[in-house]
Amino acid sequence: KRFCGFSDTTCQQKKHNTITQHVQIILISAVGSAIAKIVGANAAKNSKFANTVKMWVFEEMVNGRKLTEIINTEHENIKYLPGHKLPANVLAVPDLVEASSDADILVFVIPHQFVGRVCDTIKGKIKSDALGISLIKGVDEGPDGLKLISDVIQEKLGITMSVLMGANIANEVADEKFCETTIGCKKKNHGALLKELMQTSNFRVTVVEEYDVVEICGALKNIVAVGAGFCDGLGFGDNTKAAVIRLGLMEMIAFARIFCTAGPVSSSTFLESCGVADLITTCYGGRNRKVAEAFVTTGKSIEELEKEMLNGQKLQGPATAAEVYAILKHKNLIDKFPLFNAVYQICYQGHPVTEFIKCLQNHPEHM
Ligand SMILES: NC(=O)c1ccc[n+]([C@@H]2O[C@H](COP(=O)([O-])OP(=O)(O)OC[C@H]3O[C@@H](n4cnc5c(N)ncnc54)[C@H](O)[C@@H]3O)[C@@H](O)[C@H]2O)c1
């Protein structure tokens, strides 16, 4: 019985009689390290996967030492995921091509602004039949409007992509606190293989086919979280925040219904971890909420706060709001998305944050 997850032909070409794959994680970061912990532990006990999990690390000096050296000796990403030991079979590699060239599975976990450069570096240097999975939450602007990050990767590298999104704040995942996640994939056999690689008893995976809806949820919820942060900073209560979350969800659904044209857009996908669950956790616990709250209470700029508060981590909500704004403007649809628009106007156009609540009061959902 073939159970490697690749097609029959690929499986024969790969001589999968022993069914060994080299599982490659691309880029270390807060969440990359949390996922490396899971993948490393699963690979170590499942003979289907190669034991060593290589992880590309964007090299940085931390306390006078190379981050890769620290990870490979202390088995800890002391900059982006301090306090959590990584399995010893996770090997940090500073050279991107060396890290990825023999991979059968590539896991992309980088801030979305670095995707283009990373793909250009490994283009033509990876296996042509590798599978990719993206955990990156963001969108790009294409010539015809929206472009999913997984599509950007797929086009640049020519590999089939799946996505993983959910209520998965990195520290909690690394702490092995129970959570759920959603894998969206175009091919069922890829979903089964990736689930086997990722699932643990405290990280439960549901696989769905609407990969584009899963991915768009992961990007858009960060815009709503900025709104939730404004709401907290302005001193509104839980009822108001619940309204931000609900109206934000309605805009997410409306946006997906217009822009996810690859297949159906089912309400049930929004009830998965990638939908409401990720939206709730991000509006309460995430960095976008935190920085947006400080934007109101300190009067500092978003860029200043990102530098001050995030220790090298990147903020995704404002950038995604700008990309979404450009797409909506192009389609003449801004009026239908007042919350997304308000976040963009406040972050980039100097609109007073004190007027944020107006976008809720005049929402098309109430008309
Ligand atoms: N953090 C989370 O809880 C979480 C959860 C799920 C998904 N994600 C997604 O995973 C992706 C990565 O998020 P994160 O929080 O781990 O990263 P991050 O925002 O913390 O970014 C820091 C990472 O960027 C890397 N970096 C810095 N400069 C770079 C460069 N020039 N080229 C390439 N990499 C560079 C650093 O090495 C570091 O690993 C994002 O798209 C995010 O939405 C994050």
**Are 199 and 66 within one domain?**
yes
- Tell me which residue range forms the domain holding 106: 21-209
Q: Which of 54, 79, 195, 221 is catalytic?
A: 221
Residues 240 and 183 in one domain: no
Bind-site residues? 58, 114, 137, 170, 287-288, 314, 316
pLDDT tens-place string over residues 251-304: 999 999 999 998 999 999 999 999 999 999 999 999 999 999 999 999 999 999
**Of all atoms in ligand 1, which is nearest to the CA of residue 60?**
37
- The dihedral over CA atoms of 33, 278, 331, 291, expressed in degrees to the nearest 10, equals -70
- Please tell me if the CB atom of residue 198 comes closer than 6 angstroms to any atom of ligand 1: no
- Closest residue by Cα to residue 168 from 216, 113, 205: 205
Q: Is there a single domain that holds both residue 223 and residue 262?
A: yes
According to DSSP, residue 110 is labeled S
d(CA 27, CA 272): 26
- Mean pLDDT, residues 201-214 taken together: 98
119 lines ligand 1 (CB under 6 A): no
Domain end point (choices 156, 185, 209): 209
Q: Of 209, 228, 250, which residue constitutes the final position of a domain?
A: 209
H runs (alpha helix) in 101-148: 115-122
Q: How crowded is residue 343: how many other Cβ atoms within 10 Å of its Cβ?
A: 33
Which tens digits make up the pLDDT trace of 102-115? 999 999 999 888 99
| Joined tokens for residue 315 | 């903020």
Asked if residue 301 is part of any domain, the answer here is yes
Looking at the structure, tell me whether residues 187 and 246 fall in a common domain.
no
Q: What is the CATH number of the domain that holds 141?
A: 3.40.50.720
Domain boundary among 187, 209, 231: 209
**Is 185 strand, coil or helix?**
coil
Percent of the chain at pLDDT > 90 equals: 83
Cα atoms found within 13 Å of the Cα of residue 96, Cβ hemisphere only: 19
Asked if residue 353 has pLDDT above 80, the reply is yes
Please say if 14 is a catalytic residue.
Answer: no
Q: Are residues 170 and 232 in the same domain?
A: no
Instruction: State residue 141's pLDDT score.
Output: 78
Which has the higher per-residue pLDDT, 27 or 101? 101
Angle at 345 between CA 260 and CA 253, to 5 degrees: 25
The reply to whether 34 and 148 lie within a common domain is yes
Q: Residue 124 contacts by C-beta under 8 Å, 6 or more apart in sequence?
A: none
Q: Is residue 58 part of a domain?
A: yes
Instruction: Give the pLDDT score at 7.
Output: 53
Q: Are residues 222 and 205 in the same domain?
A: no
**112-140: pLDDT as tens digits:** 889 999 999 999 999 999 999 999 998 88
Ligand 1: does its nearest atom lie under 6 Å from the Cβ of 294? no
What confidence score (pLDDT) does residue 28 get? 64
Q: Please indicate, yes or no, if residue 121 is contained in any of the structural domains.
A: yes
Strands 160-165 and 179-184, sheet pairing: antiparallel
Calculate the alpha carbon distances from 288 to 63, 115, 306 in Å.
28, 20, 9
